[in-house]
Amino acid sequence: MMEPETFLASRWTHGNRIFPTQILVSEHSVMRRKRSWLRLSEESINIRSVASVNITTGLVWSEIRIESSGGTDPLVSHGHAKADARRIKELIETLQSRPGAGPVAAVPADIGSFRRCAQTMKKGARRIRYCG
């Protein structure tokens, strides 16, 4: 079991002076945390759903854009050191390449599929909602 790694944006960058953005990478998800005076905003993407990690580097700081395959808005964070941005990308790629990291179709034992309409149903069902 891997301990989540936290990457903190620099306080020298715009929008991060008082409450810097955090990127947390765990073996299950990538999370972006942004605090303000009265609230905490958290966005996360499952590791299996990460489609791409884009890094745009400037003179000193980097912007990280993590896009998902699920069609949600990407996680965007700016003000990270170049080494941190590369480490985030490396961690995500390593976690995705692990065996068993692919999509898992866990079907409970009491669930089956109906032949005519391919609708999933419980094993003891007498009537299917869509085709009767």
Residues 64 and 121 in one domain: no
23 vs 100, residue with greater confidence: 23
What tokens does 131 get? 């085709």
Domain that holds residue 108: 104-132
Q: Which range, of 13-17, 20-24, 54-58, 75-79, averages the lowest pLDDT?
A: 13-17
Range 83-89 contact pairs with CB under 8 angstroms and sequence separation of 24 or more: 84/7, 85/55, 85/57, 86/55, 87/5, 87/7, 88/7, 88/23, 88/25, 88/30, 88/53, 88/64, 89/53, 89/55, 89/64
Residues 56 and 83 in one domain: yes
pLDDT in tens, 55-103: 999 988 999 999 998 777 899 999 999 999 999 999 999 998 887 655 5
Residues 65 and 31 in one domain: yes
Residues 43 and 15 in one domain: yes
Per the structure, the count of domains in the chain is: 2
Give me the helices (H) in the chain, please.
Answer: 82-97
Rg (CA), the chain: 20
